[in-house]
Structure 1
Amino acid sequence: MDKLNKILISPKQSIRHALKQIDSAGEKILFVVDSDNTLLGAVTDGDIRRWILKGGKLGKPISSAMRTKPITLSEGYAKSEARDLMVRKSIECIPIINSDSKIVSAIWWVDLFQERTKLNKKLNLPVVLMAGGEGTRLSPLTKVLPKPLMLIGDKPIIERIMEKFSDYGSKDFYLSVNYKSSIIKAYFHDVNLPYNIHYIEEHKPLGTAGSLHLLKGSIKKTFCVSNCDILIEADLADILEYHKKSKSKITLVGSMKHYTIPYGVCGVGPNGMLSKIDEKPEYDFLVNTGMYILEPEVIKLIPKDKPYHMTDLINKLMANGETVGIYPISEKSWLDMGQFEELKDMLKRYGVQ
C-alpha cells in the first residue's frame, strides 16, 4: 500500500508538486484522487511535458493537466488482461478500482514481466559522445584521468551512457576525442563491449559542435549528440517521436530547474521607493542538459576546423527559419557530474558513498 500511496495525489496540489512527486516516487504516473480515494484522473510525466510546452504554469492545480479517463482494471481482473493492456498501451502501471471507482490497489509492469526494458523500442540511433573536453571543473582529478573515464560505481561514466543508449538498440557510437584521447582509446581497446566505436579526432579544441563537421558523409540519418558527463533518465523513443512530429532540425533536451530565493525580494518603483516585497519567491526554468537529437543535414552548416558550439548551430538554424524543438524532462531525470557537488549527487544516486 505504501507504494500505491506514493503515486496518489490530491487534485488541489500544484503541477510543480506533482512533478516533484513523480521524481520522488520513481514512477512516470500519478493518480488523482479525492479524500475517499475515488479516482478522478491520471497524470504522467508526458502530460506535464505537454503542459509546459503549451506555456502552462507549474503553479496551477494538477486537475488542470490530468486526463479524466485513465486506463483502469476492475477488481477480479485476469493477469492475461493486464499483460495485454500494458503491452498494447505501453504503460507501466494500471490502477485497480472497485465498483465505486475507488482505487484499491495497482499493478505494475514488473509484477507481470521480469524485465522493465521490454517496453523500450529499438531505435538503432547513431550516438555521438563529446569526450574531448579537459574537465577543468573537476580538476585536479582530470589531470590524471579524462572525465569520460571517471568511475560511477564500477563503470566509467561513458560506459554507463552507452548502456542507456544500447537499451534502445544503439550500436554505433562516435567518440569525439582530444584531451587524453590515448587513454580513452586504450580503455576501449582492453574492454569487450558489444558496440561499434568510431573515433572523431580533434587536433585542437573545436567546441561543443565543431567536431561534428568531421562526420560529414558518415552519418546519413537522425542521430543523437550527448555530453560525456551527463546521464539522462528519459524515454529516448518518446524524445525521438517528439523530434520527428515537430519536424525539428535539432531537438534540445531541457531539464526543469526550480529555484527558491530564501529572502524577501524587493521591488523598486519609478520614484525610487519600495513598491513591493515578494517573500521567498519561486522560479522555474528549462535549462540545457547537453543532449540533442539532430538531423544529418545540419552537419553541413558547421565550419571546418574552427571552434563552433551547439548554441551557434542552434542560433543559425533559428535565424534561417528552421524549427528547433525542446523536450522537457524533470529535474531528477538529469544527472550531471560536471562539478564536484553534482558528481557527489550522481554517486549517491548510484549507491556509491
Structure 2
Amino acid sequence: MKVLLLAGGFGTRLSEETDLKPKPMVEIGGRPILWHIMKLYSRYGFNDFVVLLGYKGYYIKEYFANYFLHQSDVTIDLSTNQVSVHNSASEPWKITLLDTGANTMTGGRVKRAQSFVGDEPFMLTYGDGVSDIDLSALLQCHREKGKAVTMTAVQPDGRFGTFEASDDGLVSRFLEKPRGDGSWINGGFFVCEPRVFDYLADGDATVLEQAPLQNLARDGELVTYRHPGFWKCMDTLRDKQDLNRLWASGEAPWKTWG
C-alpha cells in the first residue's frame, strides 16, 4: 500500500526555518520531521512512499538522492571514479518524489498522484505531524467501516497550563498543557479508497479539508478513527522546540520503531 505525504506547503508560521527549506525538512533531533513520519509508517511495514512536493521541493529531492550514500560506509576510488558500498543502514524505502506545483492546494496535490496510486487503497498524511498512532489498527478500522476515507481524529494538547480551584478560589493543583476542550480535530493519517479521487475534480485549487471532506461526509463516505494518544503538529517555532526537547529526553512518544 502506498503512502502519500503532503510536503509542498509554504510553512509561513515557521518562517524562521522555512525561508531556507520546506517545512517537512525542518529537523527534530537532527533528522527532518518527514523522516520521523516515514519511520512510523515503516515500523508497520509501509515502505512505498509518494512525496507530494511543492515549495522548495528540490531540497527534498537532494536529501533523498544522497540518503543512501550518507547512510553507508563507502570507499571512493578517485582514479577510477568508482564507489564501493560496504555497509548500509538505509531503510527499505521506495520513494517517488512528485512535483505537484508550488501553489497547488492539498486536494490538488493528492489528485496529481492519481496515476501513481492506480486502483488501490492508499494512506495519506501531512508532512508536519508526528504521532504514536497504531497504523495497523487504523487500517483495520478502515476495512471494517468500508467507507471511501478514514480520517484520524485527535485531541491536541492545550496551549496553556491551567489549574483546579474550589468555589472559594483556593487552588488545589496546577495542570500543565491539559487536553483540549473535549473536541476532536483532523489529525491526518488518512486511509483512502481510490474513489476519493472523484471528489478531487476541481483541479489544483482543490483544498482537501474543504469541499472534498464536506462532500464525503454528506455522502456518508467519511469515517473517523479516534486516536487518544500522542499527536503533535509542528506549526510554530515553539512546536519545533517542544518536539526537540522530547527527542533529546530519550522519551519521544512517537518513536515507536526500534
Give your verdict on TM over 0.5: yes
Deviation at 1:129, TM superposition (A): 0.6
Residue pair 1:258, 1:285 contacting (<8 A) in 2 also: no
1:215 aligns with 2:118: no
Equivalence for 1:349: 246
User: CA distance change for structure 1 residues 261 and 171 in 2, over 3 Å: closer, same or farther?
Assistant: closer
Q: Distance in 2 between matches of 1:207 and 1:176?
A: 11
Deviations 1:224-272 (A, max 9, x none): 1111011121110001111111112111111124669969xxxxxxxxx
Deviation at 1:300, TM superposition (A): 2.9
Give how far 1:162 is off.
Answer: 0.8
TM-score of the superposition, structure 1-length normalised? 0.55
Partner residue of 1:235? Answer: 134
Cα separation, 1, equivalents of 2:38 and 2:4: 10
Q: Deviations over 1:38-59 (max 9, x none)?
A: xxxxxxxxxxxxxxxxxxxxxx
Question: Residue 288 of structure 1 corresponds to which residue in structure 2?
Answer: 186
**1: CA distance, partners of 2:157 / 2:13:** 23
Task: Name the larger-Rg structure.
Answer: 1
CA distance in 1, matches of 2:233, 2:120: 28
Equivalent-residue separation in structure 2 for 1:173 and 1:257 (angstroms): 26
The answer as to 2:31 corresponding to 1:155 is yes
Distance in 1 between the 2:161 and 2:244 partners? 27
Find the residue that maps to 1:217 and give its secondary structure. Answer: helix
Matched, 1:173 2:71: no
Find the aligned partners of 1:153 and 1:283 in 2 and give their Cα distance.
31
Change (3 A) 1:262 1:347: closer
SS at match of 1:198: strand
Measured in 1, the distance between the counterparts of 2:54 and 2:96 equals 14
1:301 paired with 2:177, answer: no
Identity %: 25
Deviations 1:50-74 (A, max 9, x none): xxxxxxxxxxxxxxxxxxxxxxxxx
Q: Deviations over 1:149-197 (max 9, x none)?
A: 1111121111111111111111210011110111110111000142111
1:336 to 222, 233, 237: 233
Q: Which residue of 1 aligns with 2:221?
A: 323
- The question of whether the paired residues in 2 share the 8 Å contact of 1:258 and 1:284 is answered with no
C-alpha RMSD over aligned residues: 2.6
Structure 1 residues 184, 317: closer, same or farther in 2, change over 3 A?
same
Give, as a single letter, the amino acid of the residue that structure 2 aligns with 1:327: Y
User: Quick one: structure 1 residues 351 and 177, their matched pair in 2 at CA, closer, same or farther if it must change by over 3 Å?
Assistant: same
| CA contact 1:251–1:327 (8 Å) conserved in 2 | yes
The residue aligned with 2:67 is: 191
Which residue identity lines up with residue 191 of structure 2 in the other structure?
I
Given that 2:22 and 2:55 are in contact with CA atoms closer than 8 Å, whether structure 1 keeps it comes out as yes
Decide which of 148, 163, 166 is 1:249's aligned counterpart: 148
Match of 1:142 among 7, 14, 18: 18
Alignment-mate amino acid for residue 7 of structure 2: A
* 1:20-50 deviation per Cα after TM superposition (whole angstroms, max 9, x unaligned): xxxxxxxxxxxxxxxxxxxxxxxxxxxxxxx
Letter in 1 for 2:232: L
In structure 1, the partner of 2:78 is: none
Equivalent residues in 2 for 1:61-100, closer than 5 Å: none
TM-score normalised by structure 2 residue count: 0.75
Q: Where do 5+ consecutive residues of structure 2 fail to align?
A: 69-89, 164-170, 172-179, 251-258
Q: Which residue identity does 2:134 align to in structure 1? A: D
Decide whether the 8 Å contact of 1:215 with 1:299 is kept in 2.
no
The equivalent of 2:256 in structure 1 is none
The Cα shift of 1:140 comes to 2.3
Kindly indicate whether the alpha-carbon contact (under 8 Å) linking 2:22 and 2:56 is maintained by their aligned counterparts in 1: yes
1:285 is paired with a residue whose SS is coil
Which residue of structure 2 aligns with residue 226 of structure 1?
125
